[in-house]
Amino acid sequence: MKYKSNRPTRKQVGQAIAMQVPPVSINFLSLQPMMERPIDEQTELYLFLACLYGECRGEEPRGIAAVGQVIMNRWMRRELYWGFSVRDIILDCNQGKFYEFACMEPGELEIPALQPKDTLGWAKVFTHGLPVYLEPEPLHRDSAFFYCTQAAAEMPFFSKMRRIETIGSHVFFTDEI
């Protein structure tokens, strides 16, 4: 069996530097899931960043941070509906019907599917998601608890919510009136 290094290649480091990614994220390029463990036993930080990677790696930095903030807002609200940990919120399945985050749906949950293949996307998610995880904004009247694509924003579920803003391809809502 050939040993595969988890360290970033010179090309990956060069790309990260060219993107003006902070040096700490270059080390993060080598973060890998624990392959021998199921998804619900991965570290909370890995789940948070993998969720952002799956949901919004193609978004602008502000959009990545906003999606991360939705997760953290739900955690800070401490409602039984979502769970009491970031892990619970990310892996939340509404009565076994659908997951809150599409990238966590069954079939997407296998570890190889959540292993980042887009190194620059992973570095971008880390760079703009980690600060939200470490220091989320305090809850306020305009804290977003929901987001969706622009097409889904017209669904009846969102009609009772207050629209906060649109960033890239996502629309953010609050249920606070």
Note the pTM of the prediction, 2 decimals.
0.76
- Each residue's pLDDT tens digit, 75-87: 999 888 888 888 8
For residue 162, the surrounding DSSP H or E stretch is strand 162-167
DSSP letter (8 states) at residue 101 = S
Q: Which of 164, 131, 139, 132 is nearest to 76 (CA)?
A: 139
Q: With a cut of 70, which residues of the chain have pLDDT below it?
A: 1-42, 93-98, 105-116, 177
- What pLDDT was estimated at residue 35? 61
- What pLDDT was estimated at residue 75? 93
- What pLDDT was estimated at residue 119? 77
- What pLDDT was estimated at residue 155? 93
Q: Which of 132, 137, 121, 131 is nearest to 24 (CA)?
A: 131
For 100, other C-beta atoms within 10 Å of its C-beta total 18
Angstrom distance (rounded) from CA 13 to CA 62 = 23
